[in-house]
Amino acid sequence: MPVINFLFEDGSRRSVEAAEGSSILEVARKAGIDMEGACGGSMACATCHVVVDEAWFERLAVASAEEEDMLDLAPDWQPTSRLGCQVRLTAALDGLSLLVPRSSLLG
């Protein structure tokens, strides 16, 4: 099982084991991380926006044009931004690190 490292703007960090094939949004919710994901993972919003560590970004599958369009709505967009609902985890992503911006958290 790959381990995903969730980093937060307050400096805290949480490492979570994830089932292969799961999305970052699914892993976050299962682990009790309050990532919004208002559309439930249907790529109709940008509330599950994450910023992938540069060292890992090139290892991800390329974002679709639809995902790129939705990322235009992310308030904290960065060059390595992705939607958590669109990144599926594989064994090759074991150790993936990403920042969950405050704007992607509930509350």
Which of these, 37, 32, 40, 61, lies nearest to 49 by C-alpha position? 37
E-assigned strands of 1-107?
3-8, 13-17, 49-52, 81-83, 97-100
- What pTM was estimated for this model as a whole? 0.95
Other Cβ atoms within 10 Å of 52 Cβ, number? 23
Q: 3-104 falls under which CATH superfamily?
A: Beta-grasp domain (3.10.20.30)
Band (83; pLDDT cuts 50, 70, 90): very high
Mean pLDDT of all residues in 91-106: 96
Sheet holding 97-100, edge to edge: 13-17, 3-8, 97-100, 49-52, 81-83
pLDDT in tens, 33-74: 999 999 999 999 999 999 999 999 999 999 999 999 999 999
